Structure 1
Amino acid sequence: MHQPLRVAFDFSCPYCYLLWGYVQELRRTSPVPVEWLPWEINPELELEGRALQPGAPGISQPDQLGASLGLVPSARTVLSNTHQALAALEFAKDLGQGDAWLDVVFPAHFVGDRDIGQLPVLLQLAQEIGLDVQALEAALQAGRYNRRLLDNEAYCQEHQIEWVPTVLWGQEKLLEGVITFSVFKDTLKTLF
């Protein structure tokens, strides 16, 4: 088994959604080991998120980079606070369901325009993949995964990560920011 790629990401980033989709596409033909490193890029954002106006900065289509793979994010109406969604990923990882969480949250947010900053939305998504909804709610309300998210923040600062997504191989930054599928695929060919 190869060492995994590490991907610093946030659920609010459309380019992270694209990278998730690229991983899904490559996994159709070969295993791509990925360790997703949740990094909250808008920690100051109020819990209720912020309404976005159509055409406002931050919700434009990311240049149709994923259109050929069917990865076209919708124009979102809310910039969601992702703290609880990222903490819930850590909960899901502890149960061996991290990939399932990513597979339900990214499409819900970027295709379904669901506000993943709202606890009822997260609990419904958790139910869809068979997570214990009551245990998740208790963990989130107790802040059980806050320390892990702070540790991820410290890791990103220590490794001078400035953009999401950032793809790391060991300690080396392979790719950062806006990444096309062809560049991602070609880069992985050199590793696996």
Structure 2
Amino acid sequence: MGKGLVEKLKESYPIADTWLPFEVHPETPLSGVAIKDRFPGWDIDEAVVSFNKRCAPFRITFGHWTILSNSHLALAAGEFARDHGQHDAMHEGLFHACFTECRNIGDMGVILDVAHKIGFDSSALERALTHGDYESRLIEAAKETRDKNITAAPTFFIEDQPRIVGAVGIEIFKAALDKAMGKGLEILG
């Protein structure tokens, strides 16, 4: 929803956004974990209905996902894509694969499939991920999020304004942007 909000706001505000990698649940096993086990008692059906209602204005649809993915490899793929001028496409593709198609984005095959769909050389991406080419960047991003006391995604920073945490209403963003008119928006998440 955060990305949808930013894209909608770009229609009215001069926003320069940067999305940085942030592992919300780094303790998740590489194979992922069942949502029902990670969040016992959470009503996923109710959550999906709520998410779809809130995200409808941004044309984002959530499926009934059952797996909480370990996002580490997907975030590294995002950094590979950033270096190749395709971060937005990879970010959107992985988001869609995870939350709409309900696929495990911690799985190399899923990541390579998303990369292929956006026109990437999947073998180059696989080599980079297998060799850990983006580990230092992910470590640096994790340090930055700790230094800024970021504990949730998305977290938005608008110059000279209090941070905005979570996928909140667009009115909150408009008020902050109106105060900071003409200044950039840095997004960590």
CA offset at residue 95 of structure 1? Answer: 0.7
Alignment partner of 1:141 is 2:126: no
Residue of structure 2 aligned with 1:81, choices 70, 75, 78 = 70
Return the alpha-carbon distance in structure 1 between the equivalents of residues 14 and 160 of structure 2.
Answer: 21
* Partner secondary structure for residue 168 of structure 1: strand
Alignment partner of 1:107 is 2:107: no
The aligned length equals: 175
TM-score norm. by structure 1 comes to: 0.80
Instruction: Give the aligned partner of residue 125 of structure 1.
Output: 114
Against the structure 1 CA distance between its residues 133 and 58, is the aligned structure 2 distance closer, same or farther, given a 3 Å change threshold?
Answer: farther
Q: Given that residues 115 and 121 in structure 1 are in contact (C-alpha distance below 8 angstroms), is that contact kept between their aligned partners in structure 2?
A: yes
Report Cα offsets for 1:89-142 as digits up to 9, x if no partner: 000000111111112111221111121111111001001111111110011111
Residue of structure 1 aligned with 2:42, choices 57, 67, 81 = 57
Quick check: 20-29 or 127-136, which moved more?
20-29
Quick check: 60-69 or 127-136, which moved more?
60-69
Instruction: Give the aligned partner of residue 70 of structure 1.
Output: 59
Higher helix share: 2
CA offset at residue 170 of structure 1? Answer: 4.7
CA offset at residue 45 of structure 1? Answer: 1.2
Instruction: Give the aligned partner of residue 81 of structure 2.
Output: 92
Q: Given that residues 155 and 163 in structure 2 are in contact (C-alpha distance below 8 angstroms), is that contact kept between their aligned partners in structure 1?
A: yes
Instruction: Give the aligned partner of residue 11 of structure 1.
Output: none
CA offset at residue 88 of structure 1? Answer: 0.4
Give the gaps of 5 or more residues in structure 1.
1-17
Instruction: Give the aligned partner of residue 23 of structure 1.
Output: 6
Q: Given that residues 112 and 126 in structure 2 are in contact (C-alpha distance below 8 angstroms), is that contact kept between their aligned partners in structure 1?
A: yes
- Flag the structure with larger Rg: 2
Q: How does 1:171-186 map to 2 (within 5 A)?
A: 173-186=162-175
Instruction: Give the aligned partner of residue 42 of structure 1.
Output: 25
Identity %: 34
TM-score norm. by structure 2 comes to: 0.81
Against the structure 1 CA distance between its residues 104 and 79, is the aligned structure 2 distance closer, same or farther, given a 3 Å change threshold?
Answer: same
